[in-house]
Structures are given as C-alpha cells and as structure tokens.
Chains A and B, each alone.
Chain A
Amino acid sequence: MTQMDLESSASGTVVPADRAPVIEMRDISITFGRVRALDEVSLRLYPGEVHALMGENGAGKSTLIKALTGVYSIDSGTVLVGGEEHLFGSPAAAQAAGISTVYQEVNLLPNLTVAENMLLGREPRRFGSINVRAMNRRAKDRLESLGIDIDPTSDLGEHPIAIQQLVAIARAVDVEARVLILDEPTSSLDADEVAKLFEVMRRLRDQGVAIVFVSHFLDQVYEIADRMTVLRNGALVEERMVADTSQLQLVKLMIGRELEALERLDREVSATDADESGTPVLRAIGIGRKGSLEATDLEVYEGEVVGLAGLLGSGRTELARLLFGADTADTGEVAIGSSRRKLRSPRHAIDRNVAFSSEDRKAEGVVGDLTVGDNMLLALQASRGWLRPIPQATRTQLVDQYIQALDIRPADPTALMRNLSGGNQQKVLLARWLITQPELLILDEPTRGIDIGAKAQIQAKVAELAAQGMAVVFISAELEEVLRLSDRLVVMRDRRKIDERANRDVSVSDVLEIIAGEARSEQSEQSEQEEGDRA
C-alpha cells in the first residue's frame, strides 16, 4: 500500500511552482548515543504555507524541529535558509534569523503584563529606561494586526492558556518572522480557541510566513495545512499535498505496517470472566485520601483485568497510587492476600507482590542515566537489598529474555535508558515489574504517548499476562483501550467510584453516559465527539 502511494507522489505536484523554499533541510541525520534519531530526513518550507509535520510519537518530529532551530547539532546533512547554507548554533541564532518556535507549554512569565511578555528583551527604550507607553502601543498594534483583542497592560497570568498561547505567537512573530513553528499548539484548547488560533495562523500565512504545524489531531491538520511531511521511525516517508491525501492514506503512511498488529490484537483479546469465588488478590476497604479520593472499595481477582475508566482528574490515578502505597491513604486499608494493613510506602506493596507503573514515565519511572539492563532489574534488586546483588548470569538471562519478549529496541542491555524512544522506555518499565513476578500489576497509562506498534505490543502482553493468571488494574484515558482489555470496568468521576460492571457489550458511549450521569444526552454526545477526536 505504502509502495503505491510513493509512486503516486512522483508526479511532482507537491511543491508550489511559483516560490522558492525559505527553508530547505537536506538529508539530515542525528544520532544520540547508538540511537539513530533522524536518518537522512529532508524538509522543505515555502513562504506562505502551513506545513504539517506528521508522524507518531518517536517518529522524529521534535528532533527535526530542534535540529532546525539549533537545539541539537546535526551529524550530517545541510540546512539551506533562503537558498544559502546555514547552521544555527543556538535557538537564539535561529530566532534572530526569523525562525521562531512556540512550544506546547507556554514559556512565558505569568506575572508580567502581556506587553512585557511580548517585548521581553527588546523593549523600546528612552533615555536608557523602558518606554512603557511605546511598548504597550507596539504590543497593541501587533495584537490587533493578528486579530487578538486583549489589553496589553493586563497580567498574562489572568488569561486562559489559549490566549497565552496566542500571545506567545504574537511574541514569536514580532521579530521579522519568516518561519513559525507551532509544536502541538492545540492540545489544551477547546474548539472556539482552536478556531481563533487558526484565524491568526491564516493571517500570518497570508503575510508570507511559513508555518510548521505539529499536531496529533488529524481533522485540524486537514482544516489548516496546505502541505505535509510524514515521518516514521526517524525516516522521511513522504512529502505530500494535504488536499491529495485522504485521512486513511495519511494514517497508513504514519503507522505503516504496524496497523496490522493492532487489528490482529482486536481479534485475539476478548473479555473473559474471572473466577470470583476465591479470595481476591487485592481488596481495598474504604481507602481514601483527603482532597484526592473519597473512600473507595475495590476487589481484584486472579487473572482478571480491571479497567479504571474516567476523565482526567476523576480519581483513577489517585486510586491506583493508594493501592500501591505511592501515596498514603488517610482512611481505609488494603488487604493483599492474607495480610491486611495500611500501606505506608511502595515497599509494603512490592513485598506483597504488587507492581505499579506510574503515568508519569519520565519523572516516576525512567532512570535515564542508567542502562536498559539496570533499569529493568531495579525493582528486583531493590527488593533483594543491596547486599544481595543479582548474579551476573541471572542478570544477563533475565534482561535478554525480556528484551526479546517485549521486542525492545535497540536490543542492547547497555544502551542508556534516556536514549530510547518513549515506547521502548515503557516496555523496559513493564519488564522491570514483570521481572519481580507480581500477582497484581497496576498500569497507569502504559500506552500514553507511544507509537501504535509499541501500544499494540503492550496491550497484547497485558492480555497474555491476565490469561496466565496475573491480576491487572489498567488505566487509560483512551476508553477504547480500556474497553478492549478489561474484564471488569470501574468508572470514576469526581474523585469517587460511580459504577462497576462486567465488561460485556459495553461501548464507549455507554461509559460516557455513566460518566455524564443523568446529564443531558446532548452533553454526552459532545464528549463522545471529543473522545473520538482524541483517538
């Protein structure tokens, strides 16, 4: 399929004929340690276009952007700016040349005014001090030219994130911007705000700015972008006109053959009824914590996957953390096997064969400067204590076994953890806990931000483990995923459990209705729509 698409693009209609590119990156390669992050990737940006940079997580989008803006140095390849070869040594140098970047997180100062933020570092001056009036006037002009109607003397922090983002863009284009890079600008915006952002983007495009748009939302890409470059696994797949590419084609370009893995999984995984006659592996009795979770009961039986469904902030993560002792419960107890007590630290849970993989992979999972092997063995070694090191032969055998079983790439136990892609890091963390042979595995967002291939592999592994008798608590913001894997469904809302049922013929809209409660069906349709967008 991909092959055919490649041929169809050879017609040469993918570039504007009347203009020369403002930026041309040719055959850019970057290697981190032993990991090839970019492999001869090319990118052409033309003035007056919105160019979508597409690809799964780990495809190399942000690496390419950072290579262009001088954050990373390039191993090989050339960057042409306005036809002349140019390498930027730092983001400041790139910005001085008219290449500005606005990141997902707004890097501005909420305690300064809008105008101060826009002109920080290049304030108009008079007699050596800042000319506040000129600064406010200039900021106002700039904002008006972009159609943003806010008071430049107000504090930035007073405004919602969407406005702050627009201010960041206004700041970025205040210097003669030729290229504006927007990295996931819409991820925290609602529909109206996105429309506002697009309006600003169109204005800038019409002024001749080349805009790079990175987003996971396909609909938005189709609404705003003119051309796109698709990356996969650090390599260039194709450069295309958006209008000539269907969404299905695009998805196939982005994920390649890995889509099959996911489709195959859907057939393999089917809900099974757990044996609920025996004692549960884990039983939470009224556990709660002030400000994060109301007293909650939960039972998890051998061989079943319990899915925690709920929106962000519903208490699903909080419940998982209390089950593991990552946070200490104010009320209630956790009974694991025959012991019943308050969990005061993760060690109490680990010693009772419970494992927990946090949603915050980077801050609470990955030990970046240690090797893949050490990361995998960390939990087992910790429970043995430092005086009883794992024998070398066992180490090698365990690490090799899990690298193979989970298809971790690069398959090198001595690679540094921080050089792996998110999906592979997640697999290493999964291996860390599987090596401890837990009876209960709590996975909080194990597939967030990783590519579809790794996602399918992790889901398949979870299903396989449950089939072998392991109890699993599975949390994901993607309801489809929770429904696909779970035998039993626990629905959370407003920091408490609101529903619990066997997962038989439950659909996404059923869950959304439960979450929405007796609320109007209109609202549930809307959130279903949003859910669909996110997927």
Chain B
Amino acid sequence: MPETATLTQRVLRHPLLWPVLALVVLLLINVVVKPNFFDIRMQDGHLYGNLVDIVRNSAPVLLVALGMTLVIATRGIDLSVGAIAAISAAVACTRIVGAGDEAALTTAVLACTYALAVCIVLGAWNGFLVSVVGIQPIIATLILMVAGRGISMAITDGQITTVRNGWFSDLASGYVLTLPLAFIIALGVFVLTAILTRRTALGMLIEAVGINPEASRLAGVRSRTIIWTVYAFSGFCAGVAGLVIAANTNSVNANSLGLWIELDAILAVVIGGTSLAGGRFSLTGTLVGALFIATLARTIPNIGIPSELNYLFKAVVVIAVCLLQSPKVRALFRVHRRGPSVPVLAKGSAA
C-alpha cells in the first residue's frame, strides 16, 4: 500500500482526465477520417483551419457555461440564459439601428454596454427569485426562459433586425493576434471568472453554500448575496454570448437566437466534471467541456454523419462521455476486470 500517490496515480485520479481524454479521442477520430483536419494556414495575418473554427464556435457556449458553472455550484440552475442572450442581442441591435451614426465605434460600445447592463439586471431578477423569494431555481429561471423570448420579440417588434456596424460584427468575425476575437473574449471572461472566484474568497464561499447551505448560514456566510451574485454574473455571461452570436450574422432573430444554448452550457459544465448536485466546481473543466461540444458540432459534418442523424449522434456521444465519468460505471468495469480473477491471497493485489 503506497502512502503517497505516484505520478500515474495522480493523473489517473485527476478530475480533468476524462473530459480531456474524451476531447482528444474526438479530435483523433477527425484526424483519422480527414488526415488534414489539423491543418492551419495563415492568411492576411489570420489563422484559418478547423481548429480555429472550433475555438471560435465554442465561444458562445463557453461564455454561457462559465456563468452556469457558478450557478450550478450553488445547487442552482439557470435555464433563462438563452432568452437572456436573445434579449441582449435585441437590445444591442435595436440601439445600434436607432443610433444617429449606425456605423460608429461609440454606437457599438454604448449599445453593448447598455445590453449587458440589462442582462445583469435580468440575472439579478433570477437571483432575487431564488434567494429572497425562495423559488426553486429550475422554476424561477423557467419564468424568464419563457418570458425572455417574449421580451426580446417585443424589443425587436417581432422582426429580424439587421445591423451595419463593422465594429459590432468584429465581435464574431474579427481577429486579434491572429486569433478569432470571439474566442479571445470568451477566454477573457474565463480568466475574469477564474480571478473572481479563485483570487477572492467567492469560489470557496460558493462551494460552501453549494455543499452545505445550513452549515454555511450558521458560519455567517451571506448566502443570499452569493446566490444573487452568481445569477447576476450568469446573466452577464449570457449577455456577452448573445452579442457574439448576433455579431456573427449581423442580425438578431429573437425567436431562434441562443435557442437551447442553456442545454449545451449545462452539458459543458457536466462534461467538465462539475456535479449538478452543487459544491466543487471546475472552470477549466467547463472550458474543456465547451471545446468538446464545439468539436462535436464540427465532427458531425466532417466524418460524414447525415444531417438528419445529427442530434442522435450528439446524444449518443454525450451519453457515452457521461457514463465514462460516472463512478458507478467505472466501478463496474473494475469489478468485471478483477471479479473472476481474485487470487487466493488477495492481500496487496487490490487496485
């Protein structure tokens, strides 16, 4: 019985092992099918290639998933992120269209700032319902999930609003230091979240509230403030995601923008190893999870899955990844491995 874990054991026990492994396997499948999958070329000072597309396309889900990670860590869930993204896009686009100089940088900045402020308020509304009124998170955010679509429809008068602002569309298609701006933004929010939670005590207090709310209350943790903060932050993240999505098409369709993104985000969080039961969370895991989902979306056309089987394939892969992470399934493998082969002197032979 070794007292200290060896490097192999540490790697094997590392919570990020399975998410990373799943991502690597998925990438390898792509390379096997299309050997030039990893090819990246430089053109006009921008990088192009499948991998670049993947990181760019992962931005919206990653953004939403970051906020979702913190919400889930407090034992909550935020179903309204898709609707908030739509509201964010609707607010920004109508502000840009209605501005005096539609193409100006200040117009874009003001519109985006305004939209994000609205999203933080909407997130805080969720937080109010959960922490003060005491409604179960799934119900509390379901309200805005449904109502939010209506609000964004009202803002855009039910029309697809198209904007002409080069600065705004750079959010999705621009490049900084050869990388897509959308990914840089998502990465920026990732770093911000990491600093917000791990450089302050927020992360530890979020986990404490998620693991044992009553013990936290008696230890003097202001769980109400914490819950309020994470929902507001989730609203902010969803807002940024909404802007990136709208910028990609230079338009907002209140009906379809960010539709079902909450489910992709929850998946990214779960694949990343954060338990839906709350408690310990992993932002890096969420990053890997978001990349996995973007890679999966890329894989489906790449390996030639017919588009009608799209969702089915995605579901099968997700189920497989979740099963791999389940301790029970892994224990099953272990029992099967050693079950019949227990030696007479089992001492010291156990894993």
Contact = CB atoms under 8 A, between A and B. Distances in A.
Interface string A348-379: 00110000101000011111111000100011
A406 interface: no
B204 A356 contact: no
Given A369-B207, A379-B220, 19 more contacts: A27-B347, A31-B1, A75-B1, A76-B347, A346-B218, A364-B215, A367-B208, A367-B212, A368-B212, A369-B211, A370-B207, A370-B211, A374-B204, A378-B204, A381-B204, A382-B219, A385-B201, A386-B226, A388-B200
A384 B201 contact: yes
B216 interface: yes
Interface residues of A, number: 43
Contacts of B220: 346-347, 350-351, 379, 382-383
Nearest to A357: B218
Contact of A77 (B218, B222, B280, B346): B346
Interface in B190-214: 199-202, 204-205, 207-208, 211-212, 214
B201 A390 contact: yes
B32 interface: no
A383 B212 CA distance: 17
A75 B350 contact: yes
Contacts of A78: 345-347
A326 interface: yes
Nearest to A368: B211
B279 interface: yes
Given A89-B335, A367-B215, A378 B208 contact: yes
Interface of A: 27, 29, 31, 73-78, 85, 87, 89, 324, 326, 345-347, 350-351, 356, 358, 363-370, 374, 378-379, 381-390, 432
A41 to B, nearest CB: 13
Nearest to A377: B204
A85 B344 contact: yes
A391 B214 CA distance: 26
A386 B202 contact: yes
A85 B346 contact: yes
B13 to A, nearest CB: 10
B221 interface: yes
Contact of B201 (A29, A77, A85, A386): A386
Nearest to B224: A345
Nearest 8 pairs of A and B residues by beta carbon: A350-B220, A382-B220, A382-B221, A386-B202, A389-B201, A379-B219, A386-B201, A378-B219
A374 B216 CA distance: 12
12 contacts: A85-B344, A87-B342, A346-B218, A364-B218, A365-B215, A367-B212, A368-B211, A369-B207, A374-B204, A381-B205, A385-B201, A389-B199
Contacts of A384: 201
Contacts of B348: 76
Q: Secondary structure at chain B's binding surface: helix, strand, loop or mixed? A: loop
A324 B205 CA distance: 21
Contact of B279 (A365, A369, A386, A388): A369
Nearest to A349: B220
Contacts of A75: 1, 350
Contacts of A386: 200-202, 205, 226
A380 B167 CA distance: 46
B217 interface: yes
Contacts of B219: 346, 378-379, 382, 432
Contacts of A87: 342
A164 B11 CA distance: 49
Contacts of B279: 369
A77 B208 contact: no
Interface in B313-351: 331, 335, 339, 342, 344-350
A381 B226 CA distance: 13
A76 B1 contact: yes
Contacts of A345: 217
Contacts of A31: 1
Nearest to A87: B342
A75 B339 CA distance: 14
Contacts of A364: 214-215, 218
Of A85, A351, A367, A368, chain B has the most CB atoms within 10 Å of the CB of A367
A295 B279 CA distance: 39
A369 B345 CA distance: 35
Given A381-B204, A386-B205, A363 B346 contact: no
Of B208, B219, B342, B350, chain A has the most CB atoms within 10 Å of the CB of B219
